[in-house]
Structures are given as structure tokens and as C-alpha cells.
């Protein structure tokens, strides 16, 4: 089994494909595929938030997982390349500035003169939690239009 492990790892890496968008001016954007059942990058395809599950360049189909309104499980949908009209991608997934501000405000409430338990409960914990939550909110790009001569899907 030990000698077959590198072969299995290579097949696993070669099997998954990412979605590549190319602009007319040479810029390219790659949307990563979900690995091992975990969602990868969140992106918007035709205005719907989804995760990339699979890309088949032979049949020119994109399989995505998306969450419908008022449902708690992910739906699968196959979308042909021709029906993709727009997309948005994550420009930045983590920011440090809100975390530093929340931590600084929390530190002030914790170590100010006459600090008590209420200042810890109603000052430090909410400020630090809010700073962490705001630093984890992703920033998406503007909506990019596919097929207007600027962006297209790169077919291998």
C-alpha cells in the first residue's frame, strides 16, 4: 500500500480542476474547487452565492453547490459555460485591522483604572468578538461580466 500512495495522491490532484477566467488585457482569476467535501472559495455566479464542486472542460459544464433561501442544505446545480453571464470572487478573505482595533478597545476596557467584571463582560468580550468577526468577513470584487469581450472562461 505504501508504494501506491504517491500514485493515489497524484490522481487525486489531477482529478480536481479549478475554474479559470481570463480577461482581454491578460488578467486571470482562478476559482478553487472544493476538496474532500469541504467548501472552498465562496463566489457569486450569475448573482447566486455558491461553491465550486466540479468543472468538466470536455462537456463545458460547471457543477456548483449553492444554498437556497430558507433551506439549510446545499443544492447541486450544473451550469453550462454559455449560460454564465457574470461572476464575483473573493478579493480578500481576512483583514487584520478590525481585529487590532477590537483587541485594542477590549484591552482598554480590561486594564483601565477601576475596571470590574462588568467592564470585562460588556466591554472586552464584545469588542474583541466584534473585531474578530469583522476581520473574517470576506470582501468580494465588483460584478464582472462574462462574454462582453472582456472576460471569458479559459478552456484547456
Asked if residue 144 and residue 131 are part of one domain, the reply reads no
| Domain assignment of residue 80, given as a range | 18-93+138-153
> Domain check: are 70 and 116 in the same one?
no
Whether 33 and 88 share a structural domain: yes
Q: Is the pTM of this model over 0.75?
A: no
Residue 7 lies in a domain: no
- Residue ranges of E strands in the chain: 19-23, 28-31, 42-45, 48-56, 61-67, 74-80, 86-88, 90-92, 139-140, 144-145, 151-153
Same domain as 84, residue 23 = yes
Residues 42 and 111 in one domain: no
Is the domain of 25 the same as that of 85? yes
- Number of domains within the chain: 2
Distance CA 100, CA 111 (A): 16
Per-residue pLDDT of the chain (156 residues; tens, 9 = 90+): 545 444 444 444 445 578 888 888 888 888 888 666 555 677 888 888 888 888 888 888 888 888 766 666 777 888 888 888 888 888 877 888 988 999 899 888 888 877 788 888 888 889 989 998 888 888 888 888 887 778 888 877
- Judge if 101 and 35 occupy the same domain: no
If asked whether residues 149 and 83 sit together in one domain, one would say yes
Amino acid at each position: 500500500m505504501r508504494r501506491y500512495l504517491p500514485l493515489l495522491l497524484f490522481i487525486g490532484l489531477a482529478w480536481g480542476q479549478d475554474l479559470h477566467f481570463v480577461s482581454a488585457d491578460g488578467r486571470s482569476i482562478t476559482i478553487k474547487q472544493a476538496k474532500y467535501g469541504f467548501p472552498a472559495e465562496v463566489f457569486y455566479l450569475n448573482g447566486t452565492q455558491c461553491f465550486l464542486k466540479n468543472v468538466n472542460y470536455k462537456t463545458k459544464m460547471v457543477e456548483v453547490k449553492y444554498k437556497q433561501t430558507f433551506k439549510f442544505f446545499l443544492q447541486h446545480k450544473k451550469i453550462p459555460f454559455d449560460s454564465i453571464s457574470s461572476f464575483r470572487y473573493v478579493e480578500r478573505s481576512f483583514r487584520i485591522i478590525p481585529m487590532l482595533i477590537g483587541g485594542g478597545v477590549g484591552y482598554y476596557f480590561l486594564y483601565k483604572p477601576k475596571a470590574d467584571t462588568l467592564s470585562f463582560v460588556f466591554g472586552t468580550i464584545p469588542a474583541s468578538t466584534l473585531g474578530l468577526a469583522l476581520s473574517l468577513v470576506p470582501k468580494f470584487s465588483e460584478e464582472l461580466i462574462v462574454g462582453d469581450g472582456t472576460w471569458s472562461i479559459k478552456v484547456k
